[in-house]
Amino acid sequence: MINELFSKTQRVILSWSIILIILIFAIGRLDSIKVSNETSNYDSITVSGEGKTTIKPDVAVVRASVMTTNRDVKKAQDENTTRANAVIKFLADQKVADKDIKTVEYSISPNYSYDSGRQTLLGYNVTQSLEIKIRDFKNLSGIVDGMVSKGVNQTGGIQFKVDDQKQAEAEARALAIADAKSQARELANKLGVRLGKLTSFTENGGNVIYYNDTAMGMGAGESIAKALPPSLPTGENEIKSNVSLTYRINN
């Protein structure tokens, strides 16, 4: 009898517990729907701002390649390795750090001739391309000239860049935000409304405009070095940031 009464009491407690949980969930659901409605149905103003800053480059990025050709692929590879190693050693002698020399391509491709629809294998082209960061601008021309003398016979040009542009990006972003805020205040004043809290922020930034790219067409031998002037103006790079701000309008 006692056990049966105890069992009934447990069932009653369990039933009321389930009902209580359901009520709590339902109330919370209603509250969330209410909050969602309150926060999604409001008038807003969206404005855009732009910020720009300039910064002087501190590194010249050069892409240089060594290409060798031979009927024997092994000989083409060996010759390429010898010349590329000579270029890398020369760069080390010029105090270019290991971290500033990177292989960006190594390829082997057959070289064919075509005559009357017939394909004839002439040999193999082996190409090793390096990306080099040169920080000593005063010795830039001498370094490029030396690379050519050691075996570089193709180059893609020179770009003057900023190695770490985070600070410049932050400055451009701050200017863009200030510009957007100013526009928001001016627009709200003209519309006769009051700005509320900021509800959205987006950025398309970090764009860099290079004013002084020096293009050196793919060439061979001494023509590359002769095409490079003894002094290259580095100019300044422009960092641009564009932001979008959305404000709630207070009635």
pLDDT tens-digit map of 224-233: 455 555 566 6
The whole-number pLDDT of residue 9 equals: 61
Q: What is the mean pLDDT of the chain?
A: 80
Close Cβ partners of 118 (under 8 Å, ≥ 6 residues apart) = none
Q: Answer whether 230's CB lies under 8 Å from 141's CB.
A: yes
The whole-number pLDDT of residue 64 equals: 94
Residue in the structure block whose two tokens are 């764009």: 207
Alpha helices in the chain (DSSP H): 2-40, 73-93, 140-150, 166-191, 222-227
SS3 (DSSP) at 232:
coil
Q: Answer whether 141's CB lies under 8 Å from 232's CB.
A: yes
Give the chain's domains with CATH numbers. Answer: 44-54+167-207+242-250 (3.30.110.170), 59-161 (3.30.70.2970)
Range of lowest pLDDT (100-114, 151-165, 169-183): 151-165
**C-alpha span between 26 and 118 (Å, rounded):** 80
pTM: 0.61
Query: Quick one: pLDDT band at residue 80, thresholds 50, 70, 90?
Result: very high
The whole-number pLDDT of residue 163 equals: 84
The whole-number pLDDT of residue 159 equals: 87
Taken in order 224, 110, 87, 160, is the CA torsion positive or negative? positive
Close Cβ partners of 60 (under 8 Å, ≥ 6 residues apart) = 133, 134, 135, 137, 140, 158, 159, 160, 161, 232, 234
Q: Of 217, 80, 213, 109, whose CA–CA distance to 88 is shortest?
A: 80
